[in-house]
Amino acid sequence: MNQATLVLVKPDGLKKSLTGNILTRLSETKLEIVATKMARVSRELAADHYRHLKDKPFFDDVVKYLQGEFHDRRKVMAMVYWGKDAINKVRDIAGATNPEEADPVSIRGSFGRITTKGVYENVIHASSDEKDAEREIKLWFKPAEIIVDLYPTKDTIIKDLKTKQWV
């Protein structure tokens, strides 16, 4: 079954210059990239992305981590991968959440670390099931930024919206 999944190269992945490596590893899946962008991460966006962790003692730190506060990289690379069994294929190559327990040849096993404060800096985010994938993709991307029609949309006319244009 065709699925979509959200992948983020987290700020540690950017700082360690792993983007090319990660894209190469993920290309083993033969999935299609149907959306991609560099995104600044507001506190609100990071907190919403990790809202399932809001009662955990490390919540504040993972929000700061995703915002790039620990890596001097205030951005992530966001992508949507699409194709047969996309969610599990990407999760397999990403590896387990804890980089010390992750398969050593997975992305997280190869490049992740646990900080002295106990945060798992694991280089990459990958959606864990279809419900999460839909929620996360809708959080990070607008319909027009994705080149396939993944979820139902509606047309709205927005008046007096201030937007930047090229001079």
Applying CB under 6 A, the site for ligand CDP has a residue count of 10
Q: Which of 1, 5, 9 is nearest to 137 (CA)?
A: 5
Enumerate residues 99-138 that contact Mg ion by CB under 5 A.
128
Residue window 79-98: x/- pattern of binding to ligand CDP, with contact defined by CB under 6 A: ------------------x-
125 is catalytic: yes
Catalytic residue among 49, 52, 71, 125: 125
- Both tokens of 91, joined, read 């999760």
Q: Work out whether 58 is an interface residue with ligand CDP (CB under 6 A).
A: yes
Geometric angle at alpha carbon 80, from 165 and 48, rounded to 5°: 80
From candidates 32, 36, 119, 134, binder to ligand CDP by CB under 6 A: 119
Q: What is the x/- site pattern for ligand CDP, positions 8-47, by CB under 6 A?
A: ----------------------------------------
111 binds ligand CDP (CB under 6 A): no
Asked whether position 120 contacts ligand CDP by CB under 6 A, the answer is yes
- 126 Cβ partners below 8 Å, 6+ apart? 5, 6, 7, 87, 90, 91, 94
Nearest to 105 by CA among 35, 21, 20, 14: 21
Strands (E), 111-153: 113-114, 120-121, 124-126
Chain mean position to CA 101: 20
- Show the tokens assigned to 146: 């994705």
Closer by beta carbon to ligand CDP, 69 or else 143: 69
Identify which of residues 15 and 143 has a Cβ nearer to ligand CDP in the complex: 15
Task: Assess 122 for contact with ligand CDP (CB under 6 A).
Answer: yes
Q: Under the rule (CB under 5 A), what is the footprint of Mg ion?
A: 128
- Active site (catalytic) residues: 125
